[in-house]
Chain A
Amino acid sequence: MKPFTYERAQSPAEAAAAALRIPGTKFIAGGTNLLDLMKLQIEAPAHLIDVNGLALDKIEATPEGGLRIGALVRNTDLAADPRVRRDYALLARALLAGASGQLRNKATTAGNLLQRTRCPYFYDTNQPCNKRQPGSGCAAIGGFSRPLAVIGVSDGCIATHPSDMAVAMRALDAAVETVKADGATRRIPIAEFHHLPGDTPQLETVLEAGELITAVTLPAPVGGKQLYYKVRDRASYAFALVSVAAIVQPDGSGRVALGGVAPKPWRVEAAEAELPRGAEAVTVRLLADAKPTDQNAFKLPLVRRTLAAALAEARS
């Protein structure tokens, strides 16, 4: 790791202001992704602001009947919350499908949304990577692309977003609450939170310099059967090759979001109108503009089959 100075944040607004003021600042919460990247010098902050002391670790009911999840709520606590288990089973299932028990005990709600890709070329500092070093090229295109994205990609980047939690949040229409360096707050629908790579794969979210996530809100529960199916190379503790988040209502309508296939949680609302016609029809719309490589083209039929399995269980 490169040397860095360290401070403990006193308030969200002060943390945001300090992060803008001090060059090379990063916030640290769970640290499970950031420290990993710092050891490899993929991240090399000059200053860390530890936000763990901020009282952002509560899950509260909102006046609209939903939940406001503090940015620092650990993945374990969010998945174990009785309201989440009862009313947002999709979110609990997605969280429990991710990482290990040790990591879920540290990893936070906000950090989960901000985690970086596990593309092997992003991690290998000997290789070109437009996300790690803008303009250097993409070794994944034409390289080992089996785990990488099939849709939403660009000529400069085919990395996937690695989160399971964010896929559930997308299907549940979550929103991200932040405080900016000038003290202003804003609410960002999760659909607008992550960027597609385009020509700037290093820009992953709409967050501005210094802007700090304070909470993630969920609307009132939508009911239905809520399922998260994750297909991976081993039964536990692995990133998704493909994941399907599905909410299916008794009348056959519902919502579908995908993980493991795109640079952000992938949802196409128009495709959900096809749900009564089955997994094939939905998948055709969801992945209409897919640009798979030879190595990851298997993800297209895998999405269809995984969705079919989820729909069969939802309707059984």
Chain B
Amino acid sequence: MHDSCDFNVSRRDLMVGAAASAAVVTAPSVAGAQASVGVPSMKVSFTVNGEARALELDTRTTLLDALREGLHLAGTKKGCDHGQCGACTVIVDGRRINSCLTLAVMHEGGSITTVEGLGTPRDLHPMQAAFVKHDGYQCGYCTPGQICSAVSVLAEIEAGIPSHVSGDLTARPQASAAEFRERMSGNICRCGAYSNIVEAITEVAGRKA
């Protein structure tokens, strides 16, 4: 825990340094592309974890690559890079999305929350604390995406958004294990921590009720 705090501090220093510079130019990591003459680039500004950020990016840069490589917010993970695994899940304008399947330049003026914006090692978000308590991970690679997704799942249930397993479409959906399993199906965990993830979400849902 102490080590991760130190890491966090040093990363914050890095972030402050990045924010102080006028703009960060980043190239997408896909296809080995580097920013070069003749490749279209664009400026984009959005808020990330409450901080205003401005970047100049190759238009091809996904939101995922902008977060990781432009802003050095490496909490959000790249898994499949095709929207199939959910490791890159972040919350944009209040909704969870796959950050690998959206372009950074499409989010001008947007508000983005990554796992770094949910809590800190000393002040964990309730969902982060519940994942620790219930051992909702093994290798941890999918965990930031699982946690961002789980936080949104509870918000979606609270907002009355139905799911495939909601019995009555016109009734309010329940905060049940069956609902959590269905709604979390876009987040894959190759270590198979699913049952513990459901327990973690159940505990947070119970706290909220």
A residues with CB within 8 A of B: 1, 3-6, 8, 28, 31-32, 35-36, 39, 48, 50, 52, 76, 79-80, 82, 85-86, 89, 92-93, 96-97, 99-103, 105-106, 235-237
Contact = CB atoms under 8 A, between A and B. Distances in A.
Nearest to A41: B31
Contacts of B40: 3-6
8 shortest A-B CB distances, which residue pairs? A100-B186, A236-B185, A237-B185, A85-B169, A105-B95, A96-B164, A1-B60, A80-B161
A37 to B, nearest CB: 10
Nearest to B86: A102
B42 interface: yes
B101 A96 contact: no
A227 to B, nearest CB: 11
Size band of the B side of the interface?
A: 35 or more
B162 A101 contact: no
Interface of B: 28, 30-31, 33, 38-40, 42, 58-60, 62, 81-83, 86, 89, 95-98, 101-103, 105-106, 108, 149, 152-153, 156, 159-164, 166, 169-170, 181-187
Contact of A103 (B42, B83, B105, B106): B83
B186 A6 contact: no
B170 A86 contact: yes
B83 A3 contact: no
* Residue from the set B42, B62, B186 with the largest chain A CB neighbour count within 10 Å: B186
B88 to A, nearest CB: 9
Contacts of A102: 83, 86, 89, 96-98, 149, 186
18 contacts: A3-B33, A5-B40, A6-B103, A31-B101, A32-B98, A35-B102, A36-B83, A80-B160, A85-B170, A86-B169, A92-B169, A100-B185, A100-B187, A102-B96, A103-B83, A105-B96, A236-B182, A237-B185
Contacts of A97: 164
Given A6-B103, A35-B103, A50-B106, A1 B96 contact: no
B146 to A, nearest CB: 12
A82 B48 CA distance: 32
Contact of B186 (A36, A48, A101): A101
Contacts of B164: 93, 96-97, 236
A100 to B, nearest CB: 3
Nearest to B100: A35
A86 B163 CA distance: 15
Contacts of B160: 80
A1 B28 contact: yes
Contacts of B31: 1
B82 A39 contact: yes
Given A6-B42, A6-B105, 12 more contacts: A1-B28, A28-B106, A31-B106, A32-B101, A36-B82, A50-B106, A76-B161, A80-B159, A96-B166, A101-B184, A102-B149, A236-B182
B162 A79 contact: yes
Nearest to A8: B108
Contacts of B102: 31, 35, 106
B30 A89 contact: no
B192 to A, nearest CB: 14
Contacts of A4: 40, 59-60
B152 A80 contact: no
A299 B182 CA distance: 25
A106 B42 contact: no
Contacts of B170: 82, 85-86
B69 to A, nearest CB: 15
A32 B30 CA distance: 17
A39 B81 contact: yes
* Residue from the set B163, B164, B166, B170 with the largest chain A CB neighbour count within 10 Å: B164
A247 B181 CA distance: 28
A1 B149 CA distance: 27
A116 B40 CA distance: 27
A36 B33 CA distance: 17
A36 B103 CA distance: 11
A52 B110 CA distance: 12
Contacts of B163: 96, 101
A80 B173 CA distance: 11
A86 B103 CA distance: 35
A219 B106 CA distance: 33
Nearest to A39: B30
Given A85-B169, A92-B169, A32 B161 contact: no
A52 B108 CA distance: 11
Contacts of B156: 76, 101
B182 A80 contact: no
Contacts of A82: 170
